[in-house]
Amino acid sequence: MPPNLRLIIIFFFFFFVLASRARAIGVNWGTMASHPLPPPKVVELLKSNDINKVKLFDADPLVLQALSGSNLGVTIGIPNAMLRSLNSSKKAAESWVHDNVTRYISNGGSGVRIEYVFCPLPPPPPPNFVFLLLFANGFVSITDIASLVLVIGFFLVVLGYGNEARVPEIIPASFDNLWACICAFMLHFMRVKLNFRYAAAFFLRLFFLPKREVDDPWQFCILYVAVGDEPFLQSYGEQFKPFVIGAAINIQTALVRANLDSKVKVVVPCSFDAFLSESNLPSKGHFRADLNKTMIQLLTFLNKHSSPFFVTISPFLSLQQNKNISLDFTLFKETAKAHNDSHRTYKNSFDLSYDTLVAALSTVGFSKMDIVVSQIGWPTDGAANANSSIAETFLKGFMKHLHSKMGTPLRPHNPPVETYIFSLLDEDQRSIATGNFERHWGLFTFDGQAKYHVDFGQGLKTLVNAQNVEYLSSKWCVVNNNIDLSNATASALQACNNADCTALSPGGSCSNISWPGNISYAFNSFYQQHDQSADSCDFGGLGLITTVDPSVGKCRFPVELRTSHSDCLHSNAFVLPLMTFLMATILVSFPKLM
């Protein structure tokens, strides 16, 4: 092949890959639920709605296993509770990186690392059998029969295991990537050959090394490690702040030692109250006085390693806390009264908050710092102005603003590098210290049912709900109207202290149901969270189990999810691959057979 043509092919490959991956919008996936939707169901939900980036708040192995094979870009979080130990111990940081990063995107440096399996295409002559794979060291065409047999064996592994094993469904995921197939076809002409020894080495690692070394590698892209979850939140005081920078440095050092620092960036998600402007003028924006020194250290660290600044922007909280901001201004309405800052005009709350941060960054010498909006959303219950209709209006306006690429007055035509919607699902175990709305940020209800429409790339199609969701029995706990209810209120308060009654809050979806309907809601919430056990609907004889749905209007009396942590492996998943490996060994041992 002429050298120039080879360069052109390589150029087009990278162009197509980058183009196919250029998605700037993802979601936050939190798991603080009493009965969480099973992670494989959540991954299906993400993929069916064209959401290809997800930000996690921890490194739950069940979640990471479910993400394997998804081809999603993932941000893995480190909980605030771990910051102290990661700050004080480099060994703890190395252990965390090994357990939660290295094992998922690297095989330890030996053998062959597969990132994607491209779909097979009819090859032009002269090669007789060609399967195109993307290996860590380059593109390869398999042209010898022994290696071909091994590749077929690998396909059988994939089909045998499905989502429940160490090698998830890479192939179906790769079939969705049309650009990958096109690039694979072009790269066939590069004629880079793979010999049997390397293919065999890959298979040997896959089956005979300890599981920890090969558990779920190669299957998704870890983009960032988020050190802490808004550790600078003002209400935390000094609880986490002293440990953030040290923990970030130690995680960075561990990534360097694992040769992953060029692939995975360390970031620190900052809260919406880390910056402010007393005059409500973005140009006067600055960081909190108690944070200034720490923030300069953080920004210096981020700038050194080319990491972006992660920040929460919350138009909903701005609306609640600032009397000078109207609902229309927050919802990107054209009729909203504009805010002026010198010669700059602000037509929405997002631009106002974003430029306040831009000014704060400039004040400390980092005016060019890339910004990622790590959390932005609108709750749908638990407070006034928290409902699905307003949330849909906000997100439609926000998405339109992002897609316009107009940027903001201080950063024209320069929108956020990435944006993560908060959040994917409702979580009934989230803290309600900020407000009862905190448990209702989801685009989807706790069971994966869409609340409204938002365009993640699917156009006019509605959001796809979670499929085949398993619920507990269709039973509810309500108040028994046939007995004395004089003590019912006290029992309801006790139930709400141990369950989720935030929908009963003023402005909530169940705030208008009358007594004793609100008592029944409290009883049922407690009953569902305790897996519908008969004892949990007693309340001193006040409770009654019914099979008639007591939901009224928009007030939904939920039935919780059936959760199971049992895993099932296909008993014969190893048989076909092992037989295939033996066949390949025979073929190599007796070349005349080939």
The reply to whether 230 belongs to the active site is yes
Place of tokens 């002269």: 126
**Counting beta carbons within 10 angstroms of the beta carbon of residue 211, is it exposed (0 to 12), middle (13 to 18) or buried (19 or more)?**
exposed
Catalytic residue among 230, 418, 427, 560: 230
Sheet of 371-376: strand order equals 265-267, 221-227, 73-78, 53-56, 25-29, 418-421, 371-376, 309-312
* Radius of gyration of the chain measured on its C-alpha atoms: 27
CB 145 within 8 A of CB 195: no
**Phi, psi (degrees; rounded to nearest 5) at 30:** -100, 155
For the chain, what is the total number of helices (H) and then of strands (E)? Answer: 20, 17
What CA–CA distance (Å, rounded) separates 130 from 122?
8
What CA–CA distance (Å, rounded) separates 411 from 306?
19
The amino acid that residue 340 corresponds to is N
What CA–CA distance (Å, rounded) separates 377 from 501?
22
Token pair in block for residue 519:
């008592």
CB 533 within 8 A of CB 473: no
What CA–CA distance (Å, rounded) separates 134 from 15?
16
Q: Is 521 helix (H, G, I), strand (E, B) or coil?
A: helix
Catalytic residues: 230
